[in-house]
Amino acid sequence: MGDKTEYDIAIVGGGLVGISLAYALGQLEPAPKVILIEAYDYAALPPPSFDSRTVALSFSSRQIFSALNLWSAIAEQACPITTIHISDRGHPGMARLHAEEQNAEALGYVVENSVLGQCLLKTLPDVNGLEILAPARVTDINIQPASRAEIRFASLASLSVEVNGKVKDISTKLIIAADGTDSFVRQATGISQRHWDYHQSAVIANLALDKPHRNIAYERFTRSGPMALLPLVPYGQDEHRYGLVWTVPQQNTEQVMQLDAQAFATELEKRFGRRIGKITRVGERASYPLGLNHISEHVRHRLAFIGNAAHTLHPVAGQGFNLGLRDVAAIVEVIKTALESGQDIGELAVLNEYAKWRSKDHNTTMLFTDALVRVFSNNFTPLVVARNAGLMAMDMFAPLRKRVTRHAMGYVGKASLLARGLGL
């Protein structure tokens, strides 16, 4: 292996989660030697995660970015959510979650993916200990099984990476896969993934309205699926803006996408009512299929998975990216502890600490998200009555409301140093 370039950590996948991980690792002292491998050319073609979608950053995600000294670059383009309004169309159930009940300035913040991506890319080349390989594609992975105790620290994982038509061989103590739902790393290492198809699509667009959003995010459950309106900062001539996520049955996706702007706006107003005001402009629309994915193993010897490479959620609760960012905060803290105690960061015993830590958050968030989709997509009368009673109970009883609010803010299970706004 003498002719191979050696690194402490190789991050495969340079989307929003992978870049965030690179920043976090750069905060460690001394910073480990890290290589970030991304298939897309940042200069010419941003990765798919930098698309027109909006992301609702939970309050804990804001804390993570603050601790990484990144929030100041994001804040100007991030719209605070001070209230979440939840309702079931055609039924009396309704609940409202307020930031003031948590003594917080906001429950979360909404920012466009492309804006967030550009904020993160600006100073990425300055991260301590980081080398960026983009565009580059991993073509082969070789992870040796755990060696005998006396020589295990010499054992490294190997990657073959194609760069400009040439193959570069890399050795590393730890591979962290952040390469999305269709992860090449997962497939190349034979790790299985469970998939549940919701037979739904998310139709997304930015909307302009004729009245202020007052920092209220709306989650409205309808017969065809949940709809979310997320407040956005002004842009150009559009002073009052929302990001829309409209869940539709898969067979109706094309029909919704082909509606002209006026018909599209009319359908939305019909579902939300005039509480949001009149829609004055509909931005460019896009759609993508919805499902739940969860891998069978989050770690192996010299290998760990984070973000969508480990779990992909329905956007109903807006937790997908936030869950991935909490993965980042946890694995960096585990790596920090291992380095300080002289342990090999790629050893399974070390990585199992990460898997154990993240288990509760993964399971709770996936079950909560999946239950929301299934319960509110079912029109069985007793279930309709029960879910509306649940919404009213949440609105009336502060302890229940506060518990749900804490979950929405991203505090599930053990909180990392970064999620508490503390430095590494």
What is the DSSP code string of 58-114? EHHHHHHHHHTT-HHHHHTT-EEE-EEEEEETTSS-EEEEEGGGGT-S-SEEEEEHH
Lowest mean pLDDT among 20-29, 209-218, 274-283: 274-283
For residue 390, the model assigns a pLDDT of: 74
How far does CA 287 lie from the centroid of its chain? 17
For residue 263, the model assigns a pLDDT of: 95
Mean confidence (pLDDT) of the chain: 88
pLDDT tens per residue, range 85-105: 988 877 777 889 999 988 899
pLDDT tens per residue, range 210-231: 999 999 999 888 877 788 999 9
For residue 329, the model assigns a pLDDT of: 97
Helix (H) / strand (E) containing 244: strand 241-249
Rounded Cα distance, 352 and 300, in Å: 8
Token pair 């979440």: residue: 84
Residue 308 has pLDDT above 90, yes or no: yes
Q: Around 304, how many Cα atoms within 13 Å sit in the side-chain half-sphere?
A: 32
What percent of the chain is predicted at pLDDT more than 70? Answer: 94
**Alpha-carbon distances of 342 from 59, 153, 338, 350, rounded to whole Å:** 33, 11, 6, 11
Domains present along the chain, CATH in parentheses? 5-195+291-420 (3.50.50.60)
3-class DSSP state of 291: strand
pLDDT tens per residue, range 368-396: 888 777 777 667 677 677 777 877 877 78
Amino acid at 65: F
Lowest mean pLDDT among 14-28, 35-49, 317-331: 35-49
Residue 154 has pLDDT above 70, yes or no: no
What percent of the chain is predicted at pLDDT more than 90? Answer: 61
Mean pLDDT score, 51-58: 84
Q: What is the pTM of this model?
A: 0.91
Work out the pLDDT band at 145, boundaries 50, 70, 90: low
pLDDT tens per residue, range 173-222: 999 999 999 999 999 999 999 999 989 999 999 999 999 999 999 988 88
**Alpha-carbon distances of 230 from 143, 223, 275, rounded to whole Å:** 43, 20, 14
Tell which residue, 113, 287, 263, has the closest CA to residue 204: 287
Residue 275 has pLDDT above 90, yes or no: no
Per-residue tokens: 99: 């930031």
3-class DSSP state of 366: helix
Residue 262 has pLDDT above 90, yes or no: yes
Rounded Cα distance, 386 and 293, in Å: 28
Residue 150 has pLDDT above 50, yes or no: no
Work out the pLDDT band at 1, boundaries 50, 70, 90: very low
Mean pLDDT score, 65-80: 95
For residue 237, the model assigns a pLDDT of: 83
For residue 221, the model assigns a pLDDT of: 83
Tell which residue, 146, 107, 279, 275, has the closest CA to residue 206: 279
Highest mean pLDDT out of 146-150, 288-292, 404-408: 288-292
Pairing relation of β-strands 137-143 and 157-163? antiparallel
Rounded Cα distance, 4 and 168, in Å: 8
For residue 146, the model assigns a pLDDT of: 57
Backbone angles phi, psi at 352, to 5 degrees: -65, -30
For residue 259, the model assigns a pLDDT of: 94
Pairing relation of β-strands 157-163 and 286-295? unpaired
For residue 334, the model assigns a pLDDT of: 98
Q: Using the 8-state DSSP alphabet, how is residue 182 labeled? A: T
pLDDT tens per residue, range 58-69: 999 999 999 999
Rounded Cα distance, 175 and 35, in Å: 10
